[in-house]
Amino acid sequence: MFKIRNYINGELLPPLSNSYIDNYEPARGEVYSLIPRSSSEDLKLAIDAAKEAFPKWAATSKEVRSDFMRKISERIDERLEELAKAESKDNGKPLSLAMKVDIPRASKNFNFFSSAIKHFESESHFMEEGVLNYTLRSPIGIAACISPWNLPLYLFSWKIAPAIAAGNCVIAKPSEITPMTAYLLSEICQEVGLPKGVLNILHGYGHEIGKEMVAHDDISIISFTGGTKTGEDIASIAAPKFKKLSLELGGKNASMIFSDCNYEKMLKTTLRSVFANQGQICLCTSRLLVQRDIYEKFKADFVKGVKGLKVGDPNDPNTDQGAVVSEQHFKKVLSYIDLAQQEGGTVLCGGKAKDLSSEGKNGWFIEPTVIEGLDHSCRTNQEEIFGPVVTIQPFDKEEEALELANSTKYGLASVVWTENLSRAQRLATSLHSGICWINCWLVRDLRTPFGGVKQSGVGREGGFEVLKFFTEPKNVCIQFDR
C-alpha cells in the first residue's frame, strides 16, 4: 500500500518510528494509503532543518522568495488534474469542485503572496519636532501551520504561502484525515528547488505531533485553522509561552433572507451556501432566517431545489454532493439530525444516510437535510454540525433577524439578502461576524482580512493582514538636527 512520507530538510522521509496511520477513501469507506505517525524525533529533524535554513531564507530578497511562490503556483496549475483527483479521493468531495475551487485556489494563494510580498510596505510617522519613526518588519523564525480536512490544500497553502513569503521557515501539519495533497505539495517544492528546510511537512495525529509542535520552544508563531475546542487547547499551551497566535475556528453562520431580495439569485446561491462541499466549509450557512411573508414560498422552493441535488460518486461530473470526510464525522452529523428531531424539529427533506453500496460505494454519504420548527436556543441551532444540514426559521422584523443571527457563541460569516441598501448597511455594521456578504456568498478577494469574532477565532488571515502577522514590527525612531 502506498506510504505517504514526511518532507523534512528537502527530503521525503518515512517516520523514524516506522509507525503509520490508515488513510481512508470516504466514498468507499476503505483504507487506500498510509500516513506517517510522526513523533518528537521527526519534529526534532524538522526543527533542526528549519533553524538552519532560517537565517539564509530571512535574508533572501523578496524577489527571490516571490519567484519561488510563483513557481510553486505554476507547478500546481500544471498538476491540476492529478491534485484534484487526489483531493477528491482523499476528502470525498466532488472532483468537479476540487478542479474548479480547491486546487485553483491553492495555486492562487501562492501566486497572490508572490505578488503581495513585493508590495508589502511598512508605515512611517513624521513628527514636526524633527523626528522620523519608521516600522521595520522582519520575519519571526519558525512558524507552525496547522490546517483542517475540509479544504485540505486550499487552507494549507493559505497559511504556508504568506509565512514563507514573509521570510519565515515553516513546519506544517495537514489534517491526518486528508494528507495526500500536502504530500504532493512536498514533491512540488522539490521540483521547484525550494531551499532545504524552508518548508517542512509532518504528518500525524493532531493530539500527538500537532500538540508537540504547538508546545515546542523553537516555534514562536502558530497559525491554526480548525475546531474551536482544539483552538482553545492550542491557546492554553501557546499563551503562557507568549507565542504569536492566529486561530481560525468554527462557525454557525446565518443567512438572513428578506422579502425584498432578488429571489432567484438568492435561491440559487443559498443552495450552494448551505450544501457546497457537503456543508463542510467553515463559511457555509447552517441557519436560514426567512422573513415570514415569503417563508412558505421559500420553504417549498428551497426543499424542491435540495431534493434535486445529486448525492453520489465524487468522480461523476453530475454529482453535487460527495461523501462526508470520515466515519466519525458521518456519525456525528447523523447524531445531530436525531437530536434535532428530539428537540422538536421536523425534517423537511433528507435526514438520513444515503446508501450507494449498489454502485460499489460503501462510504459515508448523507442526504442533504432541511429542518424546521426549532427554537433558536436549542443545541441544533447553537452547535456547529459542519455537514449537509440546515435549519430554517421565520422572522418578522429586521431587529428580530439580527438578534437571531447574533444569538450564538460563534461569529465567522453572515449573509444578508435584501435590495434595501440602508438595511444592508445597518446589518453589516451590527452583525457579529468577521465577514458579511450582501447578496452573494463565498466571493473572495484575497486582499481582504479574513477571520472570525467571538469563538470563531482570533486574528486575521489574508492580504497584508497576514503578512503583518507573519512579521515582527519594530519601531525605529530617529531624531535629526534641524
User: Which positions are catalytic?
Assistant: 248, 282
Nearer to ligand NDP, 166 or 182 (CB): 182
Kindly indicate which of the ranges 24-32, 201-209, 258-266, 309-317 contains the residues binding ligand NDP, using the contact rule CB under 6 A.
201-209
Tell me the CA distances in angstroms from 391 to 38, 260, 272, 348, one per residue in order. 40, 21, 15, 10
Cα–Cα nearest to 274, from 287, 264, 262, 284: 284
Alpha-carbon gap, residue 379 to 432, rounded angstroms: 19
Helix segments in 92-177, DSSP class H: 95-97, 103-119, 152-165
Q: Which residue has the cell 422552493?
A: 301
Answer yes or no: are the C-beta atoms of 199 and 172 closer than 8 Å: yes
Nearer to ligand NDP, 37 or 79 (CB): 37
Alpha-carbon gap, residue 103 to 88, rounded angstroms: 10
Total chain residues near ligand NDP (CB under 6 A): 33
Interaction residues for ligand NDP, span 388-417 (CB under 6 A): 412
Alpha-carbon gap, residue 275 to 389, rounded angstroms: 8
- Given candidates 248, 367, 372, 465, which one binds ligand NDP under the rule CB under 6 A? 248
- Given candidates 149, 183, 330, 441, which one binds ligand NDP under the rule CB under 6 A? 149
Q: Within a 13 Å sphere around the CA of 168, how many CA atoms are in the beta-carbon half?
A: 32
Tell me the CA distances in angstroms from 473 to 118, 136, 300, 440, 467, one per residue in order. 17, 6, 55, 36, 11
Q: Residue 102 interacts with ligand NDP (CB under 6 A)?
A: no
Nearer to ligand NDP, 119 or 207 (CB): 207
Nearer to ligand NDP, 51 or 332 (CB): 332
Tell me the CA distances in angstroms from 127 to 43, 123, 135, 137, 479, one per residue in order. 47, 13, 14, 21, 9
- Given candidates 84, 101, 146, 271, which one binds ligand NDP under the rule CB under 6 A? 146
Q: Residue 87 interacts with ligand NDP (CB under 6 A)?
A: no
Interaction residues for ligand NDP, span 205-234 (CB under 6 A): 205-207, 210-211, 214, 225-227, 230, 233-234
Letters for 446-475 (x = contact with ligand NDP by CB under 6 A, - = none) are: ------x---xx------------------
* Residues at the site binding ligand NDP, with contacts judged by CB under 6 A: 146-150, 155, 173, 175-177, 205-207, 210-211, 214, 225-227, 230, 233-234, 248-251, 282, 384, 386, 412, 452, 456-457
